[in-house]
Amino acid sequence: MMKKQSCRLVKLFLLMTFALLLITACHQTFTQRPDISLKPSAECRIIQHDFGETCVPLKPQRIVTLSPENNLDALIALGIKPVGYTSYDILNKGKQSLFGASLDAVAGAEYVGNVYQPSFEKILLLKPDLILLSLDAHLYESLSAIAPTVSVPSPFSDLISTDQAFFKQNLRYIAKLLNQESRSEEILKEYEERINQLREKLGRQLQQLEIAVIFYGEDVIYTINNQMNSLIPSIFNDIGLRYKFLSSDRNLMKPPLSIETIREYDADILFIINIAERPSSFYFQHPIFRNLKAIKNNRAYVVNQEVWSAAGILGANKVLDDLFKYLPEGT
């Protein structure tokens, strides 16, 4: 059985390789190469990214997005539905996750596979005029043979400023790419208005509260840092909340929960990102958790890991939904 599966995989690989060779020969490639000078035309313009430059159509109509958090989120926020998308498989359970955007938002679009293994065949059949990915160097050359391909900056890209919130830079980058700059500024203005509304609602509590956030899995616990390339601290900083964090020179990953570890998260309010998908009662009744101040005062909240692990503006607004729900006393 294993031998037959291996043979099928080899045949599939050879077929894909042959198809890509044909595409490369017959299609004009938009990939930046050392000996080719790309020039903008009436139909496209040069966009710089981590892998070079790409001549992007002025009004792309058939976009395939291969990174839910770094490009699909912003795309949907701008009101643009892709023709194809990838997703993550949560805990290998066959459950699609888009980390910010909802599955309803991509209804009718073609699912082209897992983030780590997109289907070149499905992408080719969609006839895209623009492909968006993120720091996937091993995919870039092959995808560029299908359609103009842009590597959207990730939080670790040299194109991203370290003193500005990544999700805001990300939205503006995608908006510039698609000639939607004015819409992106409207979206960010709406976000700022929500921030101000929450600040007003908190009133004096804003200066008094201290927040802790932990991500809890079956065998690991970790928390946030205070860097602007991470969604949660960016939102907390915008609001003006005090929060516990590990400095960037410390390892964010912690060993399994212990009495010593959990004391680091003893704050007024505790948000538990439920990676382990445990029922809330697990945390509230756990002998380690129940000694925390937030648990004793009924100010601990188990929240959705997909939302709180997001990286874009849609995710930011969903985190704000939770903060509006849980932060104000008595609501």
CA 253 to chain centre: 20
- At 12 the pLDDT is 35
pLDDT digits (tens, 9 = 90+) for 151-176: 999 888 888 888 789 999 999 999 99
Taking CA atoms, 77 is separated from 101, 156, 244, 289, in Å, by: 8, 22, 30, 37
From the CB of residue 211, how many other CB atoms can be counted at a distance below 10 Å?
A: 23
Percentages helix, strand, coil for the chain (3-state, rounded to 5) are 45, 20, 40
Per-chain mean pLDDT for the chain: 83
What DSSP letter does each residue of 169-216 carry, written as one string?
A: HHHHHHHHHTT-HHHHHHHHHHHHHHHHHHHHHHTTHHHH-EEEEEEE
Instruction: Tell me: pLDDT of 245 over 50.
Output: yes
Q: Is 52 exposed, middle or buried (0-12, 13-18, 19+ CB in 10 A)?
A: middle
- At 94 the pLDDT is 60
Note if the pTM is more than 0.75: yes
pLDDT digits (tens, 9 = 90+) for 206-239: 999 999 999 988 777 888 888 778 899 999 999 9
Gap between the Cα atoms of 220 and 251, Å rounded: 13
Gap between the Cα atoms of 119 and 190, Å rounded: 37
HSE-up of 100 (CA within 13 Å, CB side)? 24
Bridge partner residues of 118 (DSSP): 113
CATH 3.40.50.1980 boundaries in the chain: 24-152, 204-326
- Identify the residue whose tokens are 């700059």: 181
**Domain 204-326 - what CATH class?**
alpha beta
With H, G, I as helix, E, B as strand and everything else as coil, classify residue 273.
strand
% of the chain at pLDDT higher than 90: 57
CATH superfamily of 24-152: Nitrogenase molybdenum iron protein domain (3.40.50.1980)
HSE-up of 151 (CA within 13 Å, CB side)? 24
